[in-house]
Chain A
């Protein structure tokens, strides 16, 4: 049932990439427990604007858990205290009346802060550009049903491909490692015959780009998998290791 709760927010404020940041504390009253976390942030911003202050900048877009844009680190967890959701799907019923909520940006050397709670995740695009695709151009491809693909493989590829590129895996990883993200893409394509053709090249190029961009080394803590809003499994990391080692040994 709907309830109204009062909250104290500790929010990270930072004017620009090079500026020093700090926490600001805000009081927020009568927040409906039926509202989403980001709607609560909207209410905060409306309040700040009405007080003549600058609103808190945060990334968000689809607000239905699929675009991967939202990215808050809430009370010690990326995407907050609920499981298998993005911040936009987190609802205020997960919080108690009178609670203090600490809201921080993703923190990792790979994701520098742009403003307040917004970070730069371009590194993910750069990694995909290094090989996260099948090298086929438009047109001249065979009929879609020319190659049967076992349903189990297709389903597993789909599970890996559900990654939304939000970066929660990096945000929670004590090593700032992007292995879950990279492995999801390598797995998605390695599981399908269309992607197998250049699987070795892809694994090598993507890992090398990931390393170059300064992401950390995976130590298999599994925190990424716990925080992944789409439940992407670290079995994909094992597959990436396998694909990579196979590719390197074949060189």
Chain B
């Protein structure tokens, strides 16, 4: 008997678990980002962001997070390649007119790529200056020296094109999640006729809260915090 991950359902299990793990990350990330809206000149946000430099986080959790992304991305690529092969080389001349199928569900890989592209920009914007080059300026709060992450973010969101990019990224993420969230539970087998409706509703609500949350923060920063 081959291992669980050698099977189609096993591969999907990895997508599901890594996806849900990233969902948890999104919740934490959004919670911290909401501090950007506290009108204290970024103090609370900086303190919270500094948390990320703790060795346990930086060397313990952060690699796990990266692993989560990598697993999710690699398996997405593998699954998509396999699925294209299974679909066969001949395409339908009359296309596909099946009704009532969520657009997102048929375009998860493309949506994922959108999110990935955004993720790269995002890492270059923040993760690199904060964690690698330490090019971000410093600030001392309550006697602790730390990066002035707020200033970095605030400056970034002063540029309209970047805000627009972030809104697009957040929208891509939202659509990705409208399908990804309930789909993860379906793959885990934690679904039936009743729970399928519930997960779908919860998933869509969650997707829009997360997406609108990130987008709103960027827009509000651009409009009110400069």
Contacts and interface: CB of A to CB of B under 8 A. Distances in A.
Contact present between A and B (CB < 8 A): yes
A211 B90 contact: no
Nearest to A239: B189
Contacts of B189: 238-246
Contacts, number: 158
A220 B193 CA distance: 14
Contact of B98 (A12, A172, A220, A240): A172
B10 A248 contact: yes
Contact of A174 (B94, B106, B188, B190): B106
B82 A216 contact: yes
Interface string A22-46: 0100000000000000000000000
B87 A216 contact: yes
A177 interface: yes
A241 B183 contact: no
Contacts of A179: 8
Interface in A163-178: 172-177
Contact of A226 (B1, B13, B90, B99): B99
A218 B8 contact: yes
A233 B13 CA distance: 20
Contacts of B79: 217, 219
A210 B171 CA distance: 36
Contact of A241 (B9, B91, B93, B106): B9
A91 interface: no
B105 interface: yes
A234 interface: yes
Given A76-B94, A107-B92, A207 B83 contact: no
A73 B98 CA distance: 11
B108 interface: yes
A194 interface: no
A146 to B, nearest CB: 28
Given A104-B94, A174-B96, A216-B82, A241 B7 contact: no
A121 to B, nearest CB: 14
A182 to B, nearest CB: 10
Interface in A221-251: 221-223, 226-227, 233-235, 237-246, 248-249, 251
A12 B85 CA distance: 22
A208 B7 contact: yes
Contacts of A23: 93
A176 B9 contact: no
B92 A76 contact: yes
B108 A219 contact: yes
A110 B87 CA distance: 8
B106 A76 contact: no
Nearest to B95: A76
Interface string B1-31: 1101001111111000000000000000000
A215 interface: yes
A223 B98 contact: yes
Contacts of A222: 100-102, 105
A239 B88 contact: no
A77 B98 contact: yes
26 contacts: A73-B94, A75-B97, A76-B94, A107-B87, A107-B90, A109-B89, A110-B86, A174-B96, A174-B106, A175-B83, A204-B1, A207-B7, A211-B7, A216-B8, A216-B85, A216-B87, A217-B12, A217-B83, A223-B98, A227-B98, A238-B189, A240-B189, A244-B7, A244-B9, A245-B4, A246-B189
Interface of A: 10, 12, 23, 73-77, 81, 102, 104, 107-110, 113, 172-177, 179, 204, 207-208, 210-211, 214-223, 226-227, 233-235, 237-246, 248-249, 251
Given A76-B95, A109-B86, A240-B9, 10 more contacts: A73-B94, A175-B83, A176-B87, A177-B86, A222-B101, A238-B196, A241-B9, A241-B187, A245-B188, A246-B189
Q: When A and B form their complex, which 7 residue pairs have the shortest distance between CB atoms, in order from nearest?
A: A242-B189, A216-B86, A76-B97, A176-B86, A175-B83, A238-B191, A241-B189
